Amino acid sequence: MRIPSVLPNSASCFVPRMRSCFYGSLGVLVGVWIFACPARAQDLMQQPEKGSYQERPYQGKMEPDDGQWIRPAKDYASTRFSSLDQINGNNVQQLKLAFTFSTGLERGHEAAPLVVNNTMYIVTPFPNKLFALDLTKPGGPMKWVYEPKPTPASQGVACCDVVNRGASYFDGKIFYNTLDDQTVAVDANSGREVWRVRLGDINKGETLTMAPLVAKGKVIVGNSGGEMGVRGWLTAVDAKTGKIAWRAYATGPDKEVLIGPKFKPYYASERGQDLGVKSWPPDAWRIGGGGAWGWISYDPELNLLYYGTANPGPWNADARPGDNKWTAGVFARDADTGEAVWFYQFSPHDLYDYDGVNENILLDLPIGGGTKKVLVHPDRNGYVYVIDRTNGKVESANVFAPITTSKGVNLQTGQLEYVKDKETKLGVVVRNLCPTAPGAKDWQPSAFSPRTGLLYIPHNNLCMDEEDMQVNYIAGTPYVGANVRMYNAPGGYGGLFTAWDPVAGKAVWNIPDRFPVWSGALVTGGDLVFYGTLDGWFRAVDARTGRELWRFKTGSGIIGQPISYKGPDGKQYIAILSGVGGWAGAIVSGGLDGRDSSAALGFAGAMKDLPKYTTPGGMLYVFSLP
Amino acid sequence: MFSRFLKRSSSLLCLLLLTAFVAKATELRVCSDPNNLPFSDRNLRGFENRIAEAIAGELHARLTYQWQRMGRGFIREVLNKRKCDLLIGVPVGMPGVLTTRPYYRSSYVFVTRRNSAFQPASLDDTGLRNIKIGVQALEEEYPPPGQALSRRGLQNSMVGFYGVGEEADKIVAAVAHGKVDVAIVWGPLAGFAAQRFGSRLAIRPLMPQVDPPGLPLTFQIAMGVRKTDAVLRDQLNAALQQQQKTIDRILASYRVPLLEMTAAAQAGQP
């Protein structure tokens, strides 16, 4: 990727900001200003930048594909790869709308639909309805809708938007979470509720927004919430009964983190008794954050779950000297007992809100002469990590977005090497911090194709300055936060869609976009990559070259996750939920005024132009060949 | 709301503007937290509820409430979506809203046991080392005193109390029960919560009032309206001036520790 060495003159393209909301756990107390430079180069948005690339088809095993989509990320390895190949580069130009379905809701739609037994299931943002559509009938009519009726008060707790990232199917039931901290099991045929269990407390600032994964008969759920007050956890719930099987906290004494004799982290910095207490000021771990609001992967052979933990609280890092274990890192846990097997911290003593919750794609890659079982993780801190998933050793950590806050990752010690003069302190101006709080990449999940061996990464291209202090308040209590200005990083565009070679550790092509690319990615056996943009374009590009082959303008900005499935008629379908919102799109779905400086959390400023491009409204679009 | 009609028909603009004015004058729609004493609650037991009544009376307006937790995003989701028009207590100069003249000024305060030998005079009191200092934890951050303590290297003394809503007063109870040696609490909450413990607790404003290089520890509190509602803001300013004595009485009855307002504050500056 070619990155100019200097920033554009941001002062000339200043736009006001808004209070924004960081997903799940960003530093909301930080007022954020954003510069949105006019998308300097229209041409940049059309043609992918290409680098050299030696095609290396994947030699590992993939889960068999039955043409359904029963888990959030398609398979346990989280590849989001559909082997269906009816739709390909030769015919994708003829891709046509097959049917649509309106959710009737205006908030951000981030979920992937599920397809099981010729029924499609859609989870909506708050109030978290579950729609079942009958795929055997023309137009996919509604079979039933299940309404869990979460308490309206939970909307006031969710920071950014009242999103939901989807559901899982297992054993005749659909499992998903409600914003007000309940996990529900719904009979997939009848829409009847089988059980519901409350796992958290909105009064403590907790919500549930993530898509659970079912592994070994357990529904695995993690909490979302502010950086402080909330203490992060991952919980396993028995899929049959709804009873809690185990809960592992992200902070606190070993026994509550489920760290015991099995725990053998690779690096010395992760070893020691009760680091979840000792790497914090006394008591600070009790409110230290580290939620698990992202993705869960599962390796059935190793019987290990993999998931990332969110950043530590409070936002002001001065108040929490220490590494702040076990935040901003990745855990491997025994799926039966929850016991930790290893941990690796991407961002020790996080300074910039770099949650570690992004997806972990489980692959077996040719590394160091042999084949290694690895997980591939594009982190908010700007590196794509390739980590030995048997022991937590970092095999490589390569830059996929502009980074000024760190110099690299020391592979001997595993340590992220921060840049001293980019450390933030309240009241001290620090400029040109990249990546920004939402990260080089936020929750939006990547896809991996075994045919090309490439990872397809939707992400952000933003930097920020931390400036003067500003006064604000929460619930009657005044506080002072840093004023942050965000702006587009080098290139002048806000987002990128990148094809990444995880073995070579470099980008193969990049497609710039005016706005951060906030949708998930899908790659298919037809060598097509599908993703959506915040201004509502749903695109198919060539998996090898990044050349755009097809596009469709949906009614609203896209922050959902595309899927592909085989219909009862034997045809391949592509489905996506459109409906702008989430953190990036809150300026539209939340009716934010892009000029309003109070709308602080920052993305909205960079998104100032977005309302000119899209309006809210949730709609399912399903495409097929004629 | 009327703004929707405005968009529909510019020919009706003048008439509707008039309607809007009348509507504002006849209904005061307050955004309020349903469970956040001493500020507000659904049973109207908070001092902000009482102040809202006084102002509505002054404006001859009917008082209605939109109950919503005042966490992050609420300005965007509630005020700016016109579910209500008025925030009763926000710091002067808060970005994102128009603020009125301030109607009180308070401070973060030390809460101590009256019979304790240690009564800190300021944040620089060396006695603050090696003791437990309760600090409020907001949704993602410590309030300014937490930052001031961190700057002094007192992180290891801090004990965060997450408390918004019904558990907010736990930090004050923790002093009374000896769980912490001192707590640093926003004045209105401290004064209110300490009442329960009679004379056992002492409250004194934090010093310094501004922690170098410029971190404020006292705040002037005003009302807030949408940035486009200057007319309403002006009406409120007049009403606040008329009702200041009533407001002072209400605040005193809730034991809100009050500081004199600064000259800049009188002029409506932060």
Interface residue A86 vs chain B (CB under 8 A): no
Q: How far is CA A593 from CA A28, A515, B215, B225, in A?
A: 17, 17, 28, 14
Query: Three-class SS of residue B55?
Result: helix
CA distance A334 to A339: 5
**Closest CA–CA distance from residue A333 to any residue of chain B (Å):** 28
**Separation of CA A142 from chain center:** 29
Specify whether the CB–CB gap between A161 and A107 falls below 8 A: yes
> Each residue of A378-411: pLDDT tens digit?
999 999 999 999 999 999 999 999 999 999 999 9
CA distance A33 to A464: 8
CB contact under 8 A, B96 and A427: no
For an interface test with A, give the residue of B76, B94, B136 to mutate (most A CBs within 10 A).
B76
Instruction: Answer whether residue A444 is part of any domain.
Output: yes
Nearest residue on chain B to A157, judged by CA atoms? B71
Specify whether the CB–CB gap between A186 and A173 falls below 8 A: yes
Q: pLDDT class for A9, splitting at 50, 70, 90?
A: very low
Q: What is the pLDDT of residue B10?
A: 46
Q: Which H or E run includes A497? A: strand A495-501
**Closest CA–CA distance from residue B78 to any residue of chain A (Å):** 9
Q: What is the pLDDT of residue A453?
A: 97
Q: Please check the confidence at residue A14 and state whether its pLDDT lies above 70.
A: no
Chain B residues with beta carbon closer than 8 angstroms to that of A28: 72-73, 139-140
Instruction: Answer whether residue A57 is part of any domain.
Output: no
CATH of the domain at A273: 2.140.10.10
Interface residue A599 vs chain B (CB under 8 A): yes
Q: Please check the confidence at residue A35 and state whether its pLDDT lies above 60.
A: no
**Closest CA–CA distance from residue B49 to any residue of chain A (Å):** 13
**Which residue out of A75, A353, A442, A609 is catalytically annotated?**
A353
Smallest Cβ–Cβ distance between A475 and the set B33, B80, B213 belongs to: B33
Nearest residue on chain B to A472, judged by CA atoms? B94
Q: Which domain holds residue A241?
A: 10-46+68-624
Chain B residues with beta carbon closer than 8 angstroms to that of A157: 69, 71
Report phi then psi at A56, rounded to 5: -135, 80
Q: What is the pLDDT of residue B213?
A: 81
> Each residue of A409-425: pLDDT tens digit?
999 999 999 999 998 87
Residues of chain B with CATH 3.40.190.10: 27-104+219-266, 106-216
Q: What percent of chain A has pLDDT over 70?
A: 87
Specify whether the CB–CB gap between A229 and B137 falls below 8 A: yes
**Which residue out of A128, A177, A311, A324 is catalytically annotated?**
A311
**Closest CA–CA distance from residue B48 to any residue of chain A (Å):** 10
For helices B47-58 and B230-253, give the axis angle rounded to 10 degrees. Answer: 130
CA distance A225 to A23: 9
The DSSP bridge pattern shows strands B133-137 and B201-205 to be: unpaired
Q: Please check the confidence at residue A343 and state whether its pLDDT lies above 70.
A: yes
Q: What is the pLDDT of residue A602?
A: 56
For an interface test with A, give the residue of B104, B135, B138, B220 to mutate (most A CBs within 10 A).
B138
Q: What percent of chain A has pLDDT over 90?
A: 71
Report phi then psi at A190, rounded to 5: -100, -20
Give the count of beta carbons closer than 10 Å to the beta carbon of residue A598: 24
Q: Does the annotation count A270 as an active-site position?
A: no
Instruction: Answer whether residue A340 is part of any domain.
Output: yes
CA distance A172 to A184: 13
> Each residue of B144-201: pLDDT tens digit?
999 999 999 999 999 998 777 778 899 999 999 999 999 999 999 999 999 999 999 9
> Each residue of A89-104: pLDDT tens digit?
999 999 999 999 999 9
Q: Does the annotation count A596 as an active-site position?
A: no
Instruction: Answer whether residue A588 is part of any domain.
Output: yes
CB contact under 8 A, B76 and A228: no
Q: Please check the confidence at residue A556 and state whether its pLDDT lies above 60.
A: yes
Q: Average of pLDDT values for A325-353?
A: 97
CB contact under 8 A, A28 and B48: no
Chain B residues with beta carbon closer than 8 angstroms to that of A314: 137, 140-142, 146, 160
> Each residue of A240-273: pLDDT tens digit?
999 999 999 999 999 999 999 999 999 999 999 9
Q: pLDDT class for A37, splitting at 50, 70, 90?
A: very low
- How far does chain A reach from its first CA to its final CA, in angstroms? 38
Q: What is the pLDDT of residue B25?
A: 52
3-state helix, strand, coil in chain B (%, to 5): 40, 25, 35
The two structure tokens encoding residue A135: 């795929």
Chain A residues with beta carbon closer than 8 angstroms to that of B40: 476
Ranges of chain B with pLDDT below 70:
1-25, 72, 263-270
Interface residue A154 vs chain B (CB under 8 A): no
Report phi then psi at A613, rounded to 5: -105, -20
The two structure tokens encoding residue A315: 């936002």
Cβ under 8 Å to B: A residues 206-235: 226-229
Report phi then psi at A312, rounded to 5: -80, 160
The two structure tokens encoding residue A170: 């297992």
Range in A190-204, A336-350, A514-528, A599-613 the model is least confident about: A599-613
**Separation of CA A68 from chain center:** 22
Q: What is the pLDDT of residue A12?
A: 28
> Each residue of A119-170: pLDDT tens digit?
999 999 999 999 999 999 999 999 999 999 998 877 766 666 789 999 999 9
Query: Three-class SS of residue A537?
Result: strand
Q: pLDDT class for A238, splitting at 50, 70, 90?
A: very high
Nearest residue on chain A to B47, judged by CA atoms? A476
Chain B residues with beta carbon closer than 8 angstroms to that of A159: 71-73, 139
Nearest residue on chain B to A483, judged by CA atoms? B95
**Separation of CA A5 from chain center:** 28
Q: Which H or E run includes A539? A: strand A537-542
Q: What is the pLDDT of residue A151?
A: 87
Specify whether the CB–CB gap between A23 and A443 falls below 8 A: yes
Question: pTM higher than 0.95, yes or no?
Answer: no
Locus of tokens 């039933």? A144
CB contact under 8 A, B137 and A227: no
Domain range B106-216, CATH architecture: 3-Layer(aba) Sandwich (3.40)
CB contact under 8 A, A472 and B94: yes
CB contact under 8 A, B214 and A469: yes
CA distance B160 to B173: 14
Name, in order, each residue with C-beta under 8 angstroms of B162's C-beta and a sequence gap of 6 or more: A204, A205, A228, A229, A287, B137
Q: What is the pLDDT of residue A36?
A: 35
CB contact under 8 A, A316 and B150: yes
Q: What is the pLDDT of residue A23?
A: 31
Nearest residue on chain B to A595, judged by CA atoms? B96
Closest by CA to A474, choosing from B269, B252, B194, B75, is: B75
Chain B residues with beta carbon closer than 8 angstroms to that of A592: 76, 80
Give the count of beta carbons closer than 10 Å to the beta carbon of residue B147: 25
Instruction: Answer whether residue A370 is part of any domain.
Output: yes
Number of folded domains that form chain A: 1
CA distance B27 to B15: 18
Nearest residue on chain A to B40, judged by CA atoms? A476
Nearest residue on chain A to B164, judged by CA atoms? A475
Q: Does the annotation count A353 as an active-site position?
A: yes
**Closest CA–CA distance from residue B228 to any residue of chain A (Å):** 11
Chain A residues with beta carbon closer than 8 angstroms to that of B72: 19, 21, 28, 159, 226, 474, 601
CB contact under 8 A, B140 and A314: yes
**Closest CA–CA distance from residue B38 to any residue of chain A (Å):** 9
Which CATH superfamily groups domain B27-104+219-266? Periplasmic binding protein-like II (3.40.190.10)
Name, in order, each residue with C-beta under 8 angstroms of A66's C-beta and a sequence gap of 6 or more: none
Report phi then psi at A256, rounded to 5: -85, -20
Chain B residues with beta carbon closer than 8 angstroms to that of A21: 72-73
CB contact under 8 A, B150 and A474: no
Specify whether the CB–CB gap between A409 and A416 falls below 8 A: yes
In DSSP terms, which residues pair with B108 in a beta bridge? B186
CB contact under 8 A, B156 and A471: no
Closest by CA to A181, choosing from A13, A293, A82, A308, is: A293
Q: What is the pLDDT of residue A51?
A: 61
Q: How far is CA A296 from CA A57, A536, B65, in A?
A: 25, 28, 42
Q: Starting at the earlier edge strand, list the strands of the sheet with A537-542.
A: A81-82, A522-524, A528-532, A537-542, A548-553
Chain A residues with beta carbon closer than 8 angstroms to that of B52: none
Chain B residues with beta carbon closer than 8 angstroms to that of A478: 91, 143-144, 186, 219, 221
For an interface test with B, give the residue of A228, A318, A352, A479 to mutate (most B CBs within 10 A).
A479
CA distance B233 to A378: 48
Cβ under 8 Å to B: A residues 257-296: 281-284, 286-287
**Separation of CA B201 from chain center:** 22
| Helical spans, DSSP H, in chain B | 2-8, 13-26, 47-58, 74, 144-151, 170-176, 187-194, 230-253, 263-266
Q: Average of pLDDT values for A200-224?
A: 93
Q: pLDDT class for A605, splitting at 50, 70, 90?
A: low
Buried/exposed code over A466-504 (b: 16+ C-beta within 10 A; e: otherwise):
bbebbbbbbbbbbbbbbbbbbbbbbbbbbbbbbbbbbbb
Instruction: Answer whether residue A52 is part of any domain.
Output: no
CB contact under 8 A, B137 and A287: yes
Smallest Cβ–Cβ distance between A204 and the set B33, B73, B162 belongs to: B162
Q: Please check the confidence at residue A31 and state whether its pLDDT lies above 60.
A: no
Question: In this predicted complex, what is the ipTM?
Answer: 0.85
CB contact under 8 A, B147 and A480: yes
Q: Which H or E run includes A589? A: helix A582-589
> Each residue of A451-471: pLDDT tens digit?
999 999 999 998 988 877 788
**Closest CA–CA distance from residue B58 to any residue of chain A (Å):** 23
Mean of all residue pLDDT scores within chain A: 88
**Which residue out of A75, A106, A206, A227 is catalytically annotated?**
A227
CA distance A175 to A171: 10
Q: Please check the confidence at residue A81 and state whether its pLDDT lies above 60.
A: yes
